[in-house]
């Protein structure tokens, strides 16, 4: 009997987004629950998405910003993710283009580190309230993700290369072309069709589309 065909799920995300961290961790956990899911990481630039889609960050809308603080506390507890509001979120709100370029540079040559490097950037921003504005910050996150000095040095140089910028632009445009207006943006490829799902609170819908079962946050499968 032939094995079931893998269903590709593309996760488009920016590490500035706490909701993307939730979506990222949940989908990483569900690779065990949904073995027929081929999860692909697609780092993009949320600032570009918001601008082109005419959207505004929740923190820019006063009532949303106030609610977001409480909501993230609740979501962190529910999903078992150590979310903590940065003291100066405004400083990183639109400042992750270099971060995403560094992540892209690593993903292009050493994709086996993409998952843990992404997680380490979320740790810096949304757990430890540490800066992500300078190359040394990127290097610190990369070391914790397991990259060696040579790989880190190479990625720091390559993040300025046109091919890296083009890849990040490509993923950003791909998400925009599929209707993205925020992060995370998830595209499930099912029977030759593409189904887009936004956010971190629609996993029961994604499960339905994939013909899988939703088991909740499955915190026992967490890598945190």
Tens digit of each residue's pLDDT (9 = 90 or more) over 168-202: 999 999 999 999 999 999 999 999 999 999 999 99
Rounded distance, CA 52 to CA 175, Å? Answer: 11
Q: Give the per-residue pLDDT at 94.
A: 66
- Domains, the chain, in order of start with CATH, read 8-221 (3.40.30.10)
Sign (positive or negative) of CA dihedral 99, 109, 10, 25: negative
Contact of 217 with 26, CB cutoff 8 Å: yes
Distance CA 149, CA 78 (A): 37
Residue 3: predicted pLDDT? 59
Write down the mean pLDDT value for the chain.
94
- DSSP helix/strand/coil, 110: coil
Task: Determine the Cα–Cα distance for residues 9 and 203; give it in Å rounded to an integer.
Answer: 12
What confidence score (pLDDT) does residue 60 get?
78
What does the pLDDT read at residue 68?
86
CA–CA separation, 197 and 178 (whole Å) = 10
Quote the CA–CA distance of 92 and 192 in Å, as a whole number: 38
pLDDT at 224: 94
Provide the pLDDT for residue 49: 96
pLDDT tens-place string over residues 9-54: 999 999 999 999 999 999 999 999 999 999 999 999 999 999 999 9
The pTM of this model reads: 0.95
Edge-to-edge strands, sheet with 37-43: 37-43, 7-13, 185-190, 193-198
Query: What is the predicted pLDDT for the residue at 188?
Result: 98
């Amino acid at each position: 009997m032939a094995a079931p065909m893998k269903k590709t799920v593309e996760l488009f995300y920016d590490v500035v987004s706490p909701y993307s961290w939730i979506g990222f961790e949940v989908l990483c956990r569900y690779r065990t629950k949904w073995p027929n899911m081929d999860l692909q990481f697609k780092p993009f630039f949320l600032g570009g998405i918001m601008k082109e889609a005419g959207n505004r960050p929740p923190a820019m809308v006063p009532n949303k910003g106030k609610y977001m603080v409480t909501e993230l506390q609740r979501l962190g507890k529910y999903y078992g993710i150590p979310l903590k509001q940065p003291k100066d979120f405004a400083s990183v709100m639109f400042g992750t283009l270099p971060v995403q370029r560094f992540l892209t540079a690593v993903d292009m040559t050493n994709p086996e580190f993409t998952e843990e490097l992404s997680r380490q950037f979320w740790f810096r921003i949304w757990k430890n309230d540490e800066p992500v504005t300078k190359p040394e910050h990127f290097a610190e996150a990369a070391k914790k993700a397991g990259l060696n000095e040579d790989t880190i040095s190479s990625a720091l140089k390559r993040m300025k290369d046109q091919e890296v910028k083009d890849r990040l632009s490509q993923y950003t445009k791909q998400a925009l072309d599929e209707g993205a207006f925020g992060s995370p943006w998830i595209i499930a490829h099912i029977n030759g069709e593409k189904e887009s799902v936004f956010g971190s609170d629609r996993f029961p819908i994604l499960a339905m589309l994939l013909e899988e079962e939703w088991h909740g946050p499955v915190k026992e499968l967490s890598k945190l």
